[in-house]
Amino acid sequence: MNALLARIPWKYALRRALTALPLVWGVVTLIFLLVELSPGTVVDKFLTPETPPEVRELIVLKYGLHEPALHRYLLMLRNLASFDFGRSMSNDVPVMELIATRLPNTLLLSVVTLLAIYPLGIALGTLQAVREGKLADNAGSVISLFFYSMPSFWLALMLQLLLTYWWPILPTSGMHDTMVDFMSPSERWLDLALHLVLPGVAIGLASSAGVARYMRSSLLEVIRQDYIRTARAKGLPEHRVIGVHALRNALLPIVTLFGLTLPMLFSGSVLVEQIFSWPGMGQLIVQAIFAQDTPVIIGCFYLFTLLVVAGNLLADVLYAVVDPRIRLE
Amino acid sequence: MLALAGVCLWAVSGLPRWNAVLFPNPGGAPDLHAAIALPSLVLAIGALGREARRFLDADARRRSPFALAFASNPTAMIGLFGALVLAALALFTPLLAPFDPNLIDAGPKNTAPCFAYPLGTDTFGRDLLSRLLYGGRISLSIGFVAVSIAATIGTTVGAVAGYVGGWVDAALMWVVNLILALPRLVFLLTIVGLFRTTGAQSLMLIVVILGLTGWPGVSRIVRSQVLSLKEQDFIQAARSLGFSTPRILFVHLVPNVLAPVIVFCSLAVGSTILAEAGLSYLGLGVPPPTSTWGTLVTDGRESLRVAPWVATFPGLAIVWAVMCFNLLGDGLRDTLDPKLRGR
């Protein structure tokens, strides 16, 4: 463990974190520009034409919309740096409060999904690589391609139809049963777990198929290496050759997939949270987009980007930690 | 070699399709659809058909190692066949569709699939098969046109970044990383939500935005290829002959990196169709009465329990199309670049 810890490239991580800052700034600036360039002012989108002019003026003053764009932009940057996202226009509560109630739900869904898709994908990919060219390999390829090509929202609808209507064994939507207040703590956990199944499957299955495809090719590449031939030649049983020698090396590039999966899961959650009424960030941002609620949109993008950048950084560092051949300097 | 050139032509034939997007018929929605859908489909089918004939022709196969590899690659052939069927269905839609796709009360409401209505009818009594066929035209042409835009931008940016280097490279790659860090669907939703308009423009907006957000992936691939190519002798030779930078870029470098670009195009058509379906599902896609496969699934959501077929079949159509283009892309990658095989 200490040997692994010693391998963390702190200098590199710090430099990467610093170079990520302009990226976050770029995203925020891009969204701000898009809002400014879009037809009509924020007030027009937000209010109906029938709103009395006095009310309109009050709202303009309240959100500081009479200030020039540059002034508002600089103010926004200053506020974002201290994690102050302003007030939501449609709910009139601080954006931070909205996000604080939603983010844990999305993180719960994403983390549980992540933890489920990797073992599944790795197992399928390994099985396929070991049986290369045989029936199991081809069937696995077809199945993973099928799920890889599937729109997550359609899968969600089909799962809902099958498992909550025709064969009702799982809850239709939401995070909790209506009777949640009368449950014991253990029942509550079970209830939450049951509510997680369908959204998790709908979001994760495609990514899991992606992991399987990647794992298969990675393991196939390793199996062709000389040291695997050596391991076989010295008479090791096949399960040790694959399980001990090949798998450990084939798993290395899978770590880098982690950074790529994160934005995919967020995109998936936007559609799937909508279908399963999962009160998360995806639902929040869709509502904000329909309501043209700029502070919420910018706040959500800011957080999304921070999470994605952090995920990528973590994946890179992890790769350096697990693979001693990698030198990040 | 000829076959390779033919496939390149298929990819580059995005340019005429572009014209159809940039100069649409202002007369109304149906004209615009025809303007986009038909030229792109005719071109795609023409190119695909020519390729298919070449692969089936034994003499040509002997001459071209690429054609031989492609024809003996089951993945590629299944993908090509599926894509050809889709293209043919889209081209002959007016002949195949039994009803007007928007005709209300073409049959009894919510009829289950039967002989008269092979895929059933929806809550307005519209024939689902006809709607599916016409929707496919729009979905497929959105995919083709958006990918043509993305491939053109991505190849140019990647080639310039890789060849010129220095701060130009740093700046372009910063933009690439920026777009890749955004969750694509959320970004698309935001742009379409902010700039939403009505009528025929909306289709244009979606196509252009899908194209403008889809290029960073391919520009990274092209850049890395150009970085290694530019050290080779033939580029040194071109430079010492005094050729201009644009000439070296587009005459000497770009043709040599087209193989991964073609693979990207095929895979990206699938992911673009998925992205468009997601947008449509949230009600930010092409406005009614025009429907794409995504909007058809949305229509079916309301009547999921009474008429499950309305949401099921469009979803299956999406899976079929995306699978075909993924298979074709995988097959092309295997045959065009054996080094990338299985990745």
Chain A to chain B, count of Cβ pairs less than 8 Å apart?
131
pLDDT at position B7 is 41
Of A266, A289, A308, the CB nearest to B190: A289
Of A38, A153, A270, the CB nearest to B186: A270
pLDDT at position B3 is 38
Cα A197 from chain centre: 16
Helices (H), chain A: 2-6, 10-37, 42-46, 53-62, 69-81, 95-130, 135-148, 152-160, 185-223, 226-233, 238-240, 247-250, 252-275, 281-291, 294-322
Chain A residues within an 8 Å CB radius of B342: 216-217, 220-221
pLDDT at position B319 is 93
pLDDT at position B52 is 61
Chain A residues within an 8 Å CB radius of B185: 267, 270-271
Chain B residues within an 8 Å CB radius of A267: 183-186, 278
Q: Summarize pLDDT for A41-82 with one digit per residue, the tens.
A: 666 666 666 777 777 777 777 777 777 778 888 888 888 888
- A153 and B281 within 8 Å at the Cβ level: the answer is yes
Task: Name the residue in chain B with its Cα closest to that of A261.
Answer: B183
pLDDT at position B26 is 33
Average pLDDT, chain A: 82
Chain A residues within an 8 Å CB radius of B314: 154
pTM over 0.80: yes
Of A39, A220, A266, the CB nearest to B183: A266
pLDDT at position B61 is 58
A143 touches chain B (CB under 8 A): no
pLDDT at position B333 is 81
Residue type, A190: L
Q: How far is CA A198 from CA A169, A205, B183, B201, in A?
A: 11, 10, 22, 37
A286 touches chain B (CB under 8 A): yes
For chain B, the straight-line distance linking the first and the last C-alpha, in angstroms and rounded, comes to 24
Distance from CA of A182 to the nearest CA of B (A): 31
**ω into B289 cis (within 30 of 0):** yes
Domains of chain A (ranges; CATH) run 26-82 (no CATH), 99-322 (1.10.3720.10)
Q: Is B302 helix (H, G, I), strand (E, B) or coil?
A: helix
Residue A325 has pLDDT above 80, yes or no: no
- A160 and B305 within 8 Å at the Cβ level: the answer is no
Span A97-104, mean pLDDT? 87
B109 touches chain A (CB under 8 A): no
Task: Name the residue in chain A with its Cα closest to that of B325.
Answer: A149
Pick the residue of B292, B319, B330 with the most A CBs within 10 A to test the interface with A by mutation.
B319
- B297 and A153 within 8 Å at the Cβ level: the answer is yes
Span A19-30, mean pLDDT? 86
A167 touches chain B (CB under 8 A): no
Match 């069937």 to its residue by tokens.
A139
Chain A residues within an 8 Å CB radius of B175: 26
Rounded to 10°, the helix B258-281/B309-336 angle is 170
Chain A residues within an 8 Å CB radius of B304: 157, 160-161, 165
ipTM for this model:
0.84
Distance from CA of A104 to the nearest CA of B (A): 18
pLDDT at position B337 is 64
Residue A270 has pLDDT above 70, yes or no: yes
Please list the rounded mean pLDDT of every run of 10 residues in chain B (343 residues).
Answer: 39 40 36 50 60 62 66 81 85 79 75 76 81 87 88 92 90 90 85 72 82 90 88 86 86 84 87 89 79 86 83 91 89 70 43
Chain A residues within an 8 Å CB radius of B297: 151, 153-154, 157
Distance from CA of B188 to the nearest CA of A (A): 10
Using CB atoms within 10 A of its CB, is residue A143 exposed (0-12), middle (13-18) or buried (19+)? middle
Assign a CATH topology to domain B131-341: MetI-like fold (1.10.3720)
Q: How far apart are CA B208 and CA B204, in angstroms?
A: 6
Q: Is B286 helix (H, G, I), strand (E, B) or coil?
A: coil
pLDDT at position A176 is 77
Residue type, B24: P
